[in-house]
Amino acid sequence: MSIGLLCAFNFRTVPPTPVSPVPSASQLAWQQLEYYGFVHFGMNTFTDHEWGEGRADPSIFSPTALDCRQWARVVRDAGMKGIIITAKHHDGFCLWPSNTTTYSVRGSKWRDGKGDVLKELSEACREYGLKFGVYISPWDRNHPLYGKPAYNRVYKDQWREVLTNYGEVFEAWLDGANDQTKRMVYDFDGFFRTIRQYQPKAVIFSDAGPDIRWVGNEKGFAGETNWSTRDNEGTFPGFADEKALNVGDETGGSWIPAECDVSIRPGWFYHSADDEKIKSVSDLMSIYYASVGRNGNLLLNIGVDRRGLVNERDVARLVEFKKAREESFKTNLARGRVTASNVRGNEKQFDGEKAIDQRDETYWATDDGVTKASLEIDFGREVEFNRFVVQENIALGQRVKRFSLRIWKDDRYQTITEQTTIGHKRILILPSSRTNKVQLVIEDSKACPVISNIEIYNATEK
């Protein structure tokens, strides 16, 4: 090796050191999905309940035209990346022929008792390029062992069946639901170990993680400040501080990002009385901005109807919602001359252009110790915009604590908004502004900022 090459090798600027905690590979892959579907379907669909008591006869489960390929097609066409199915809700009825209970599709007349919703749905997800996830409620209002220690083994066996018979599962979803009179002491650590054993790449959701946390409400709204880090000491599913879950913890020692669950209708299961109560496109856009736009993932629920189909009204609204998103983010205005107040090692690989090159793996970074910096985009002409998208390279940890946005007006920069966290993605809804230059100012950061993407739009939706 020549002396010149040796010197270049020795003095090449190294990438920023990760700021702990950082996401696992599975958590990173999950965050990039951003938007996927929840499907509530089961005995409650046919009894018109939200929480069944576990006493309804299995023969009541009788979809006349169940088509999981239709579900998958609707979800894909809506722009979602996966489906999480309520394989068992609180009533204990299993959508697969479980050997742990007699209360399942095996006891129904559907498919002559030989049907398996999970099999049909998992195959449909693979056909349509979707991720497949499963929710199994720990509360079981039918099983005779519920309330006794032996039930923990039953519940683990249910997870074993689901996680070994239907291919890859991207998310295992459970909560802390419990009977208020016949209290069950759950072996949550054992549940988590079981899931890890059979699907080590799956992320586990519950109120308190361990991989993904509940956002603290069922409105789909994350906090305007939303840290992916959590101080999770002493918390477990069913025992969680909803206010704290909504914003996370700046100094938290665990990486547990927020998932925002919300239903497109007032309830989670399909009820014909709600056919005219589907959320408007405007409502859904507000939810999108407050979930994906605030460093969370959006889990939007669809209640499949008694035919076993996603209802036509829901399909139409999902398509309208997709079109509204596409219109809002149609033309990215973030192009022009980029100037950064500081560039790591003055090297091109970390310069400001990397924030607008539309490549996930590149990013603008500053020198170590520089936690206040700015990035200017000179459009070279006057543009009008009302949306600003900014992302951090969260593989290196969530860093930005405060930032502001400024526009060039009347021969000076004027601040138009001041914000806190960024994370995987932050979308700002702004008053319409006309300017030829915009400046992102990092006011404070845990370490040198690592900004991987900036996009600017002039949304047309009302």
Q: Please give the pLDDT value at position 419.
A: 98
Determine if residue 365 is left, alpha or beta; phi over 0 gives left, psi from -120 to 50 gives alpha, anything else beta: beta
Q: Phi and psi dihedrals of 242, rounded to 5?
A: -60, -35
- The reported pTM is 0.96
Q: How far is CA 338 from CA 160, 362, 424, 461, in A?
A: 53, 15, 22, 29
Q: How confident is the model at residue 462 (pLDDT cuts 50, 70, 90)?
A: low
Three-state DSSP state, 151:
helix
Q: How confident is the model at residue 380 (pLDDT cuts 50, 70, 90)?
A: very high
What does the alpha-carbon distance between residue 14 and residue 425 come to, in Å, rounded to a whole number?
25
34-65 residue pLDDT tens: 999 999 999 999 999 999 999 999 999 999 99
Q: Looking at the domain 337-457, which fold is it? A: Jelly Rolls (2.60.120)
4-35 residue pLDDT tens: 443 444 447 899 999 999 999 999 999 999 99
Instruction: Name which CATH class applies to 25-328.
Output: alpha beta
| Sequence spans of domains, the chain | 25-328, 337-457
